Amino acid sequence: MTTSEKKLKICSKGHKYYKSSDCPTCPTCEQERKPADGFLSKLSSPARRALENNGITTLQKLSTFSEKEILQFHGIGPASLPKLKVALKEEGLSFKKLTNEK
C-alpha cells in the first residue's frame, strides 16, 4: 500500500492545510461553514455539501426525494440515511416513496 504525499495548499482566505487529493475544500473554511444546529449540522461535510449543492437545505425539500435519489448524490453514503430519517421523522416527514417501493 502506497502512501500519498500530502501537499501544502492555501485557500482563498489564507488558511494553510495539507491534502493528498485534488479536493479543493479547506478544512478550516468547512468547519466555519458548518451549521450549529439543524439536520445539516449532524452530517459529515461531504454529505452536507452534497445536499446543499442539490438545493436541499430544509427537511421539507429533503422529503421530496426518495432514499434512492439521495444516495445518488456524490458525498452521500448509507451512513447518512439513518440521521436523515430521524430528522425527517422528528418533523413528521419521510422520504418520498417511489411507486415500486412498499
Is the separation of the CB atoms in 75 and 50 below 8 Å? yes
Judge if 64 and 17 occupy the same domain: no
Is the separation of the CB atoms in 7 and 20 below 8 Å? yes
Task: Answer whether residue 2 is part of any domain.
Answer: no
Is the separation of the CB atoms in 40 and 57 below 8 Å? yes
Residue 23 CA to residue 84 CA, distance in Å, equals: 25
Number of domains in the chain: 2
12: pLDDT strictly greater than 70? yes
Judge if 30 and 43 occupy the same domain: no
Judge if 25 and 51 occupy the same domain: no
Average pLDDT over residues 47-72: 96
Task: Assign 30 a pLDDT band (cuts: 50, 70, 90).
Answer: confident
Domain range for 55: 37-102
15: pLDDT strictly greater than 90? no
Judge if 19 and 50 occupy the same domain: no
Average pLDDT, the chain: 87
Task: Answer whether residue 59 is part of any domain.
Answer: yes
Please list the residues that pair with 9 across neighbouring strands.
17
